């Protein structure tokens, strides 16, 4: 039995030796049959473009190409060339003719050119100084094109200059192309972290985007909602230059005809008789509008004068003697006059997890907006996300506020009457469409306007 075990052990040892010798033989065979040779990977501007056996081969071609272009009066882009030692089979080496074509593509001919430098960075390149200077004129023309009125001032807000540079022929643009690029800008992708109360619509409104554009950039969004903390991409096109233009225009407007009521003893109580129809007056207003790249961002009233006084509508009314004047007001609510006509597109109260501090009254840009009650204008101008904005303090202690206007026709400190025209519906500020945002405050606290517009 012991003899049999010893024999098996001896056979096992011999098997291990045989397998070990076979493994060594295979390794030696693989080493002897490795047909790879020492070579160099050619990297140009960080990108591998070829593999050569000798680095001198590429060096000679580069010097030859540069010399030929110098004889023709051309300059060449000088790329960063790195030679990385590698092992490669002969069939993997780049042929001489193909290497020459690759280097010709990389060593693009360049020429003297003129760039438009914005805040220290060249953004567009043109072939001549005359073409580059023409861009500055085209910028003003394209940004202010179609404006009617007197241009008070027009200036580029960025630091801009024409500088001498070099460029490849393919980088050159024409003056009209350069002006378009500078005004339209380039698309920047930014990340936004969703906050509590956010929705796609609210994010789009805040950043002046469209919901469908946000969806296109974030295909993982499939429903109507986004999660708090979720990071989404937003694409924003930002102009490379901002041209601020101040334009003065003259506007002729009607002055509503007041109503004069005279009490007549000769008429029975409750009887009314119109003895004179009213006629609106006319006033000329001079306004100064601020534009950025042709888009209005602010406006102020410079001066106004009455050229024709309104003729009052005179009504005789039965009763005791005397007379009084009332403003032309149309339909009047129990406390406050509706500031404009239109359906309510968004009510007062919680909206998307936040407090909507007023009501949105739908309307078209240019629709008239009236003072809701007698009072004094305490604010008139651009006000943050409200855009063009008016606030009026009324004699009854209330304050009414009017946002997203397209025009403002009152000034701070001016006294206005109930029903007096103060501006027009618009979509300025953070707004996704034309409407009037109307607020009512009492002792500094927001109130539901509908409680005052019965």
User: Is 23 a member of any domain?
Assistant: no
Q: Across the chain, what does the average pLDDT equal?
A: 80
Query: Tens of pLDDT along 18-41?
Result: 566 666 555 555 445 567 888 888
Looking at the structure, tell me whether residues 205 and 172 fall in a common domain.
Answer: no
62, 81, 107: which is the final residue of a domain?
Answer: 107
Q: How far is CA 159 from CA 95, 134, 204, 240, 242, in A?
A: 50, 17, 31, 11, 10
Asked whether the predicted pLDDT for residue 314 surpasses 80, the reply is yes
| H or E element, residue 218 | none
Looking at the structure, tell me whether residues 319 and 413 fall in a common domain.
Answer: no
The CATH code of the domain that includes 381 is 2.70.70.10
* Cα separation, 347 vs 153, whole angstroms: 41
* Cα separation, 184 vs 207, whole angstroms: 17
* Cα separation, 184 vs 52, whole angstroms: 45
What does the pLDDT read at residue 454?
60
Token couple for 224: 């109507």
* Cα separation, 385 vs 428, whole angstroms: 8
148, 167, 184: which is the final residue of a domain?
Answer: 184
SS3 content of the chain, % helix, strand, coil (to 5): 25, 45, 30
Pairing of strands 259-264, 313-318: parallel
pTM to 2 decimal places: 0.48
What does the pLDDT read at residue 370?
94
The CATH code of the domain that includes 207 is 3.10.350.10
User: Is 180 a member of any domain?
Assistant: yes
Asked whether the predicted pLDDT for residue 80 surpasses 90, the reply is no
Looking at the structure, tell me whether residues 258 and 223 fall in a common domain.
Answer: no
User: Residue 412 carries which DSSP code?
Assistant: T
Looking at the structure, tell me whether residues 175 and 213 fall in a common domain.
Answer: no
CA 345 to chain centre: 25
- DSSP 3-state of 29: helix
* Cα separation, 267 vs 282, whole angstroms: 34
What does the pLDDT read at residue 329?
39
171, 205, 238: which is the final residue of a domain?
Answer: 238
Domain interval for residue 390: 344-451
Query: Tens of pLDDT along 335-348?
Result: 799 999 888 888 88
* Cα separation, 231 vs 235, whole angstroms: 13
Asked whether the predicted pLDDT for residue 309 surpasses 80, the reply is yes
Looking at the structure, tell me whether residues 274 and 305 fall in a common domain.
Answer: yes
User: Is 85 a member of any domain?
Assistant: yes
Looking at the structure, tell me whether residues 119 and 133 fall in a common domain.
Answer: yes
Least confident of 7-16, 107-116, 145-154, 294-303: 7-16
User: Is 25 a member of any domain?
Assistant: no
Looking at the structure, tell me whether residues 68 and 94 fall in a common domain.
Answer: yes
User: Is 166 a member of any domain?
Assistant: yes
Q: Encode burial over 336-359: b for 16+ CB neighbours within 10 A, e otherwise.
A: bbbbbebeeeeebeeeeeeebbbb
Looking at the structure, tell me whether residues 356 and 443 fall in a common domain.
Answer: yes
Mean pLDDT score, 225-236: 87
Of residues 337, 361, 355, the one with CA closest to residue 436: 361
What does the pLDDT read at residue 334?
42
| Band of pLDDT at residue 332, cut at 50, 70 and 90 | very low
Looking at the structure, tell me whether residues 226 and 270 fall in a common domain.
Answer: no
Looking at the structure, tell me whether residues 424 and 369 fall in a common domain.
Answer: yes
User: Is 255 a member of any domain?
Assistant: yes
Mean pLDDT score, 305-318: 86
| Band of pLDDT at residue 178, cut at 50, 70 and 90 | very high
User: Residue 311 carries which DSSP code?
Assistant: B
What does the pLDDT read at residue 70?
65
Looking at the structure, tell me whether residues 321 and 357 fall in a common domain.
Answer: no
User: Is 8 a member of any domain?
Assistant: no
State the angle between helix axes of 96-106 and 55-71 in degrees (0 to 180), rounded to the nearest 10.
50
Looking at the structure, tell me whether residues 180 and 191 fall in a common domain.
Answer: no
User: Is 410 a member of any domain?
Assistant: yes
The CATH code of the domain that includes 306 is 2.20.230.10
Number of folded domains that form the chain: 5
* Cα separation, 278 vs 43, whole angstroms: 86
């Amino acid at each position: 039995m012991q003899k049999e075990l010893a024999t098996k052990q001896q056979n096992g040892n011999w098997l291990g030796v045989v397998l070990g010798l076979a493994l060594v033989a295979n390794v030696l065979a693989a080493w002897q049959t490795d047909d790879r040779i020492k070579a160099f990977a050619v990297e140009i501007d960080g990108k591998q473009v070829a593999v050569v056996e000798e680095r001198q081969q590429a060096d000679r071609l580069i010097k030859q190409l540069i010399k030929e272009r110098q004889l023709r009066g051309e300059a060449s882009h000088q790329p960063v060339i790195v030679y990385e030692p590698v092992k490669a089979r002969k069939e993997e080496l780049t042929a001489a003719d193909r290497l020459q074509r690759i280097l010709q593509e990389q060593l693009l001919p360049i020429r003297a050119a003129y760039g438009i430098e914005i805040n220290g960075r060249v953004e567009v390149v043109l072939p001549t100084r005359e073409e580059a200077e023409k861009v500055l004129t085209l910028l003003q023309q394209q940004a202010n094109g179609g404006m009617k009125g007197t241009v008070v001032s027009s200036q580029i807000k960025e630091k801009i200059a024409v500088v001498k540079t070099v460029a490849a022929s393919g980088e050159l643009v024409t003056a009209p192309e350069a002006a378009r690029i500078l005004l339209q800008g380039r698309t920047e992708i930014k990340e936004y972290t969703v906050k509590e109360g956010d929705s796609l619509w609210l994010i789009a409104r805040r950043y002046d985007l469209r919901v469908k554009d946000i969806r296109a950039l974030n295909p993982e969004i499939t429903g109507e909602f986004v999660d708090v903390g979720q990071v989404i991409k937003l694409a924003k096109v930002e102009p490379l230059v901002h041209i601020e233009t101040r334009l003065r225009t003259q506007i002729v407007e009607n002055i509503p005809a007041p109503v004069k009521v005279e009490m007549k003893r000769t008429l029975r109580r409750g009887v009314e008789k119109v003895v004179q129809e009213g006629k609106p007056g006319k006033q000329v207003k001079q306004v100064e509008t601020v534009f950025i790249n042709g888009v209005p961002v602010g406006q102020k009233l410079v001066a106004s004068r009455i050229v024709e006084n309104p003729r009052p509508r005179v009504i005789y009314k039965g009763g005791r003697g005397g007379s009084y004047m009332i403003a032309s007001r149309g339909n009047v609510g129990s406390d406050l006059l509706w500031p404009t006509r239109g359906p309510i597109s968004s009510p007062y109260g919680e909206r998307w997890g936040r407090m909507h501090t007023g009501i949105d009254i739908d309307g078209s840009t240019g629709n008239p907006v009236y003072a809701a009650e007698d009072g004094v204008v305490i604010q008139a101008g651009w006000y943050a996300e409200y855009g063009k904005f008016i606030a009026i303090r009324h004699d009854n202690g209330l304050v009414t506020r009017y946002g997203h206007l397209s025009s403002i026709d009152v000034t701070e400190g001016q006294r206005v009457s109930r029903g007096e025209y103060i501006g027009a519906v618009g979509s300025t500020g953070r707004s996704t469409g034309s409407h009037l945002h109307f607020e009512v405050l009492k002792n500094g606290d927001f109130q539901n306007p509908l409680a005052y517009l019965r």
